[in-house]
Structures are given as structure tokens and as C-alpha cells.
Structure 1
Amino acid sequence: MGKRALERRLSAVADFADPQVELEQYATPADLAAHLVHLADVHHDVAGRTVLDLGTGTGMLAIGAATRSPRRVVGLDRDGTAIEQARENESHVAPETPIEWVVGDATRAPLCRKNLRAKSVDSAESTELTESASSVTVLMNPPFGAQTGNQHADRAFLETTSAIADVSYSIHNEGSLDFVEAFAEDAAADVTHAFRAELPLSRQFEFQREERKVIDVEVFRIEWR
């Protein structure tokens, strides 16, 4: 399945029913998600690997990854309502690999390479990720930290990623290149790819004055050691 076919398939993913501004819940568009998943697939970062979508929201990236023969896909978000929406979206797209949906804070949950434990929406049992399971790829569209009191929110997501991933693909606000490269250097990691993209935002909150606005974002592939 090519990138355009994946984009068409992901167009069935519904947006947030009741987005929370404090969590910066903006949906990842199908075209950008398809591009990220396709790029990860080209670099052999999905098939046969464990893929973790941090701050999965409506599940767009997790669902996209689940169409590309991963060993396992986990979508994690602190908002249980969003996880319910993601679960519904999975049923509409019907990816080949089932997705494990987990309620947990990506910046606080006890996530590490040897042990990922968080309580799921519909089960009291925990989900566990062991190092022997497979290599770990993180796909994420973290909050940019645009809201007052939430500055540098994406840094916390990168800190979690650095502890658990072999490679990651992440979307950040425009002008993040220096920050991401400096973070990666401090973590002895390598930014192997960086490119610009566009993120369309529909009016969801009262402070937004335009019905639709397109913002520039930057996407990074990082190899962690």
C-alpha cells in the first residue's frame, strides 16, 4: 500500500469530539500521518518492530503504523475520552495489526525499555513491553507548548522517548531545529532527517479567530543510543 492509499485509508479517522485546549489536542492530518508512517516504513522502522505513539490522541499515527506489519503497536494518551475515540477510529480503519490502547501520561508514566506498565481503559491488567520483544520506534505529535504554563511540553515527550526508543519520528513547532538538535546531542543521539511540513488547524477553541489556519511545523527523525 502506497502513501496515497494510506492517506485515503486514514481519512476515516475522526477528529476529537471535545478537544481540550490545555492538552493542545489538535488532530494530526491524514496526509502528514501517512507521510510519517511511509517514511518510517522506508527506513525499516515499522515492520517487525514495536511502535509506540506517545500522546496518541485520536490514534492517527498508531493506526497508520498498524497497517505496516509491526510486531506490536501501543497508543498511549492521558485522556481516556481520546483513547475511546481512538479505539472507535481503529474499528473504522481496521488495520491489520491490533492496537493496544493505554491511558497514561507520556511524561510521567513508568515507561522504560524493559518495562512499560500502564492501566488500559477496559482492563485492570497492565501492559508490559520487554526489551527482548523487538526494537522500539516512537511516532508522535506531542504538544508544542504553545499554551501559557505549558511551555516546552515537547521536551518532556523527548525525554521519555530518549529512554525507550531506538528511533523516533516527531512533529514540532516551526523553529524547533536548534532545540531538537541540542537535545539530541545532549542525549548522544543523532538527528538524521529534518523537514518542514504544514499542519492545518480548524477552529476548535474560542481564542481561535480564523475558521482554518495552516501553520508551519518541523518533523524530525532521531536515532537514539
Structure 2
Amino acid sequence: MVDAIVPGVQKRSSLSLKQVESVLCSLPRRRFERPRIDLEQYVTSAHVAARVAACAVSRSGEVPERVVDLGTGTGMLAAAVVLHGCPVAVGVDVDVDALRLARENGQHLRRQSVHKPEHSVMDWIQADVVDGVPLSPKTFEVAVMNPPFGTRHRAVDMAFWDVACTLATDAVYTMHKSSTREYVLRRARRAGHDAQVLAEVRFDLPASYRFHRQASADVAVDLWRVRLR
């Protein structure tokens, strides 16, 4: 549970935190159809997405105008920031199939009149975050992400971190394994950023791939807020 870290926020949305979580639970495409191990694809739960997004839109009591979600997958974080009142959310992912699911989730919100076109925009970009995103630097106030943790490709999570810091002007909200905490902190300090662990989140990762022998795995993950300078 990460409820304790969610600050007060001046919201455009009338939805409460619990209502945002409930709407996210109703999305029809929350799980990957064929998860790709090379991309370390695991679903961000509605519980976690709702609370990470609530932190991201707090921004000193004001909702950011534009948020980018890197490695968006099925679009859970992008949907969550819009439900919390952000006018523009852009999700980026290299996987075309994942983006199809994210688009379907966005369309579902529109049909349910939860995400109204006249009030907010959800857009999706197919691109490899590490190799290059076709977006101008400092285009967004805030970046959010649940990046691959680097179990298949070493340090890919920090490559995502670097791109997020390039695209955002104010802050990055990101998740990394708790076991990497000291390294992440040193990396942030070298870059001159103010990084803080807001919470340790327990990820219950279900068995998604054939080589998984356990039904699920409990992984400790840090939720970071990086204030950019």
C-alpha cells in the first residue's frame, strides 16, 4: 500500500483516489496478451498506478499540463494521470501490440465518459525509448514510468531514467528495484538532481513466462521522485 505518500492536490478531476483505482480495474486490456521477456513486460497494477499518478499530478498543488509515460505498456500510468486530471498524457512504447492494448483502454475511457475528449488527450507513440524518442527535450512537465528493471538488459532502467530527465522540466516519477537504491541515489546526485524514495512498493509479479516455476514473486520496488535542476 502506498496511500500514505499521496499528498493533497488541486485537481481538475472530481474522481477520488479509490475511484481512479476502480476505473483502472475496469479497463478491458490491463494484461499483455503475449508478454515479451526481452522487454520485461509486467503489468502495473491499478492500485500502484493510481497512487503513482496521484503523486505525479500533485506538482506543488498544481496538476501538470503534459505528462509522458515511458514504456507505457498497456497504458495504465497514462490512463491514471488523465483520470487524476492531467489534460495531456503521451504513452511511449516500442511494442506495437502493447500500444494497441493501450489505445483500446483509452477508447474505453472515452466510451464510458470518464475520459472526455474536450477535457483531455491521450496519445501513443511507437518508439524505442533507449534508441530515441521523437519528442523534443523539455516538452513535458512530468515523466512517469515503470521501466524494465534490467534483469535481461543491464542498466536499461537507467537508460530510461536518462531519457525521462531529458523530456521533463520539473520531475520524474519512476520505479526501480529496492536493491539498486544506493546506485540510483549516487547516479542522481552526480547529475545534480534531488532524488527521494517516496515509498517501497511490493510488486506481486504473477508467473507470465514459461520458465517461471512459482505462481508469483514478491519484489521490493522503490518509487522515486526526481526533482530536476
TM-score range (shorter-chain normalised) is 0.7 to 0.9
2:83 counterpart residue number:
67
- d(CA) in 2 for partners of 1:193, 1:45: 19
Which secondary structure does the structure 1 equivalent of 2:217 belong to?
strand
1:217 counterpart residue number:
221
CA-to-aligned-CA distance 1:168-210 (integer Å, 9 cap, x gap):
1001112121122111111110013432001121111011111
2:121 counterpart residue number:
98
Percent identity (aligned): 29
Which secondary structure does the structure 1 equivalent of 2:179 belong to?
coil
CA-to-aligned-CA distance 1:62-121 (integer Å, 9 cap, x gap):
01111133232110000011000100111223324221110001112145xxxx1xxxxx
| Cα offset, 1:45, TM superposition | 7.7
Letter in 2 for 1:146: T
Contact kept? 1:52, 1:139, Cα under 8 Å? yes
Report the CA distance shift for 1:93/1:198 in structure 2 as closer, same or farther (over 3 A).
farther
2:12 counterpart residue number:
none
Letter in 2 for 1:50: R
1:1-225 equivalent positions in 2, closer than 5 A? 1-13=15-27, 14-44=30-60, 47-94=63-110, 95-96=115-116, 97-110=120-133, 116=135, 135-147=140-152, 150-165=153-168, 166-225=170-229
- d(CA) in 2 for partners of 1:110, 1:19: 22
- d(CA) in 1 for partners of 2:214, 2:33: 19
- d(CA) in 2 for partners of 1:89, 1:36: 18
Letter in 2 for 1:68: H
Letter in 1 for 2:94: R
Contact kept? 1:51, 1:70, Cα under 8 Å? yes
RMSD of aligned Cα (Å):
1.8
- d(CA) in 2 for partners of 1:130, 1:141: 20
More helix by share: 2
Structure 1, unaligned runs of 5 or more = 117-128
Contact kept? 2:57, 2:84, Cα under 8 Å? yes
1:119 counterpart residue number:
none
Aligned residues: 205
CA-to-aligned-CA distance 1:141-179 (integer Å, 9 cap, x gap):
0000112xx011101001111212120100111212112
- d(CA) in 1 for partners of 2:99, 2:25: 18
